[in-house]
Structure 1
């Protein structure tokens, strides 16, 4: 029997506020800086910053320092934490509301997604490989770089092989210019510098930004580098798994008569 005096779960208390809910919904689509969120929600910066702090303290959003401008930070919706919080919220109301965890599928036209970073040697090829792997054929993922490296970082292929049994042997970085004439439904930048350099596309795909630090940048042993790549791949995989329902929903809406 449920305790009628039980306090609402923390997710409900945090997300129920209209401004915090608006911030969460904006961050569900892309990572943003504070000033961009201020413009999107039309509220004063001090108020937006206050509610962002509450969301951060509650674990629903995180921040990363911009690799383009170190004075800036990007806010990011922690999808894994939100998913767990939502599951716990449903279960707290009634055991039958525990999620089933089904994976969306799409029949018909493939959804085309482009991932962009600077070197196309780590983050964007990881995202490309994981989305292709998770979508099981109904998404066509491509990646490119604004200033591609001569070859993939060696740990990129190693991590994908070890953690996900994905083989990208022979894959080489490609320049963004080689794919700008192709049509994409979604363009996602994973690098703060690439976000600033990525051009507009004539067919106006949906744009989003994932602010993810380059795992190749950093000091330490080879084990430390390997761990950074593991963490990066894990974060990208979380984002990819939560991207799939978005792609399926968008695709379903597009093919309605």
Structure 2
């Protein structure tokens, strides 16, 4: 009995202390929609910038949020919700309350996509359409067994998909990329997409509107540091692994009833 009282008096897990604050919880939920800049978070939560920045620092200190300098405007930073870290911290918090609340990771597998007259369509956009966006489209197609339509395009496409893109998809995921040609995002204007996801900051600024839900993932171009050697290929491996994590967290979003309802013609 005394041991239980001592446990009850212990401080709550850090995740609980961080997420329980109303403004920090709001910031976490807003970042759940995609990567955002401080001024965008200020607009969404309706609080002063200095207050938002203060709470973002606390969330970063707790490892729940990360920041990356914008590749389009170096004065800006994009904030990202680390969903993997949040899942681990949430599971640990449940276990701290009671062993029966310990959450075990679900085995990997394909999502159950509800029957519909038209597949959900997702467009991935980066600048060159040679690395990030084709990797994302290929991984979403792979993980959903083609039950979700995934396309990619560039705002200033290169002549062809980068060879390292083809290599990393084959070696790391067993995916053979069909064809190596790129396409311009303007060629897809007029097509219907449920979600448009930009993967680089410059593409976000110039991507045309498709009347779709817009999501931004701020990611570095793996080909920017040079194309040759093991160091160059390692950047593609890192980017592909990062995109794969994001895709796995995207899949449940694509299966929500709200998404299905919006997807019906």
Tell me if TM exceeds 0.5: yes
1:118 match? 127
Deviation at 1:138, TM superposition (A): 2.4
* C-alpha distance after superposition, 1:73-122 (max 9, x if no partner): 10011111112112222222233331452653112232110000000000
Which SS does the other structure have where 2:196 is aligned?
Answer: strand
Between the aligned partners of 2:161 and 2:227, the Cα distance in structure 1 is: 20
1:133 match? 142
Given that 1:22 and 1:41 are in contact with CA atoms closer than 8 Å, whether structure 2 keeps it comes out as: yes
Greater shift, 245-254 or 155-164, is seen at 245-254
Deviation at 1:178, TM superposition (A): 1.6
Deviation at 1:174, TM superposition (A): 0.8
Between the aligned partners of 2:183 and 2:260, the Cα distance in structure 1 is: 31
2:237 match? 230
**Which residue among 91, 96, 101 is the counterpart of 2:106?**
101
Between the aligned partners of 1:17 and 1:126, the Cα distance in structure 2 is: 37
1:162 match? 171
Between the aligned partners of 1:132 and 1:220, the Cα distance in structure 2 is: 26
TM-score, normalised relative to structure 1: 0.93
1:188 match? 197
**Which residue among 254, 259, 262 is the counterpart of 1:251?**
259
Given that 1:157 and 1:169 are in contact with CA atoms closer than 8 Å, whether structure 2 keeps it comes out as: no
**Aligned-residue RMSD, C-alpha:** 1.9
TM-score, normalised relative to structure 2: 0.90
Q: How many corresponding residue pairs?
A: 254
Show structure 1 runs of 5+ residues with no match: none
2:80 match? 76
Q: Does 1:14 align with 2:18?
A: yes
Between the aligned partners of 1:181 and 1:219, the Cα distance in structure 2 is: 35
Q: Label 1:253 to 1:4 Cα distance change in 2 as closer, same or farther (>3 A).
A: farther
Between the aligned partners of 2:61 and 2:93, the Cα distance in structure 1 is: 18
Between the aligned partners of 2:245 and 2:106, the Cα distance in structure 1 is: 14
Q: How does 1:20-59 map to 2 (within 5 A)?
A: 20-59=24-63
Given that 2:227 and 2:233 are in contact with CA atoms closer than 8 Å, whether structure 1 keeps it comes out as: no
1:211 match? 218
**Which residue among 67, 76, 79 is the counterpart of 2:71?**
67
Between the aligned partners of 2:186 and 2:263, the Cα distance in structure 1 is: 30
1:91 match? 95
**Which residue among 149, 152, 168 is the counterpart of 1:143?**
152
Which SS does the other structure have where 1:114 is aligned?
Answer: strand
Q: Label 1:15 to 1:226 Cα distance change in 2 as closer, same or farther (>3 A).
A: same
Tell me which structure has the larger Cα radius of gyration. Answer: 2
Given that 2:197 and 2:215 are in contact with CA atoms closer than 8 Å, whether structure 1 keeps it comes out as: yes
Deviation at 1:169, TM superposition (A): 4.4
